[in-house]
Amino acid sequence: MSKPLEGLTVEELAPVDHFHSRGFPATVEFADWLRINPGEQILDIGCGLGGPARYMAKRFQCRVSGIDITEPFVEAANKLTALLQMERQVTIAHGNGQRLPYPDSRFDGAYTQDVTMNVADRAGFFAEAYRVLKPGAFFALSEHGLGPEGNPLYPVPWSEDGTGAYLVAPAETRAILEKTGFEAIAIEDTGTKCVIGYRKVIERAEKGALPPLGLHLFMGETMVQKMQNAARNIEEGRTHPIQLICRKPR
């Protein structure tokens, strides 16, 4: 059954425009951590198709600037934002999270979801986020960190064969953030939630019961293998998924 484009909602697009582990439910739980006030300026680094940016803007009545290195994602994100008539709240630009095109102390908060696994210069990435944040602003992220056993199995959703994957242990992520200047760092383990999410998708796929819209559309024929490896990596201690929040000092 098709859905007319006129009157489409953020929630109806959610199955396809939250391209990270566990999709839309993870974004909602991630947002529960954040304290965003109406009218504040928030930055989404690695915003993809803009689903989280539009959700944050709607939920908190804030303004979100998104940036992504993949130009087709940016084009699609802006089209979807226009379709939802949210251009006044959400702006998506093409750019690199390690060279943010924004002035110092611009934003009241920033976040990034499942992006840093593909960032080689993590210190530079965090330094740029720190630079564009106002004093007292939050910085939050979710990622698959490197587990104590290491040697992740591939393919996984963020890499076909390990190329472009730069996983580090949560303790190292904390250390880099502290060195950058961030404080009040709180880390939550999300491994169990991720495994449950992956197993549900695998079960549906094996039953031929995947919905018409979903993240499987982006993963191609190896989607089930990617999900299986991602779950096994967590269970075997090869990866360690977390979400994290910290602050720039006042």
Q: What is the structure's pLDDT at 209? A: 61
pTM of the model: 0.92
| Residue of 86, 83, 134 whose CA lies nearest to 106 | 134
What one-character-per-residue DSSP string does 181-210 give?
A: T-EEEEEEE-HHHHHHHHHHHHHHHHTT--
SS3 at position 48: coil
Q: What is the structure's pLDDT at 1? A: 41
| Residue of 102, 52, 43, 46 whose CA lies nearest to 73 | 46
Name residues whose C-beta falls within 8 Å of residue 173's C-beta, 6 or more positions apart in sequence: 116, 122, 143, 145, 242, 244
Mean pLDDT, 10 residues at a time, the chain of 250 residues: 64 78 88 95 96 96 97 94 96 96 98 96 98 98 97 96 97 98 97 93 78 59 90 98 97
